[in-house]
């Protein structure tokens, strides 16, 4: 199964946090393989408190033989291992944020894991690096490609 994962960091050594997150993911999920990696972009915080430091954001695609819920569990464990508190204010600064964006054509409205990610089509900081690796991808529930979604943002 192919999975898209967004990575973001705005605390500490942001580049190192993203790289450590990728390294941990590749070492803790059996049989996982990195298949694509977008550019890293510095982006202004969205819906965060005033004075919040800029983020570094990217998207990777991996291939793994696991269920989306299993991979999501690994992502949450990696966030905790890299210092993100389990209980936190929404949109608070973070050492690493890992979001499962999609899992092939899986659609899920489970309260713990919604797929595809419900707001990704509105977020330049997700669509831009995703368009680097999968511009032609049409996500479940969308009528146009990632590149067209990106072009449609202001």
Q: How confident is the model at residue 90 (pLDDT cuts 50, 70, 90)?
A: low
Alpha helices in 33-154 (DSSP H): 68-81, 124-133, 146-151
Q: How confident is the model at residue 154 (pLDDT cuts 50, 70, 90)?
A: confident
- CATH number, residue 91: 3.30.70.560
**pTM across the whole model:** 0.93
d(CA 107, CA 64): 17
- Among the residue ranges 46-50, 79-83, 141-145, the one predicted with the least confidence is 46-50
pLDDT computed for residue 4 by the predictor: 98
Domain that holds residue 113: 2-151
Number of structural domains in the chain: 1
pLDDT computed for residue 75 by the predictor: 97
Which residues partner with 98 through β-bridges? 7
pLDDT computed for residue 48 by the predictor: 74
d(CA 25, CA 96): 12
Find the mean pLDDT for residues 130-153: 96
- Among the residue ranges 44-48, 94-98, 114-118, 147-151, the one predicted with the least confidence is 44-48
Placement of tokens 């890992």 in the chain? 98
């Amino acid at each position: 199964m192919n999975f898209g994962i967004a990575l973001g960091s705005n605390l500490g050594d942001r580049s190192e946090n993203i790289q450590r997150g990728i390294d941990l993911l590749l070492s803790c999920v059996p049989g996982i393989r990195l298949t694509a990696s977008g550019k890293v972009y510095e982006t202004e915080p969205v819906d965060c408190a005033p004075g919040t430091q800029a983020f570094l954001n990217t998207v990777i695609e991996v291939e793994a033989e696991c269920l989306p819920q299993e991979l999501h569990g690994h992502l949450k464990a990696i966030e905790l291992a890299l210092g993100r508190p389990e209980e936190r204010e929404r949109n608070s600064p973070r050492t690493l944020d890992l979001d499962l964006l999609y899992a092939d054509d899986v659609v899920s409205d489970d309260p713990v894991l919604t797929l595809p990610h419900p707001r990704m089509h509105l977020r330049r900081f997700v669509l831009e690096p995703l368009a680097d690796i999968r511009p032609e991808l049409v996500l479940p529930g969308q009528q146009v490609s990632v590149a067209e979604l990106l072009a449609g943002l202001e």
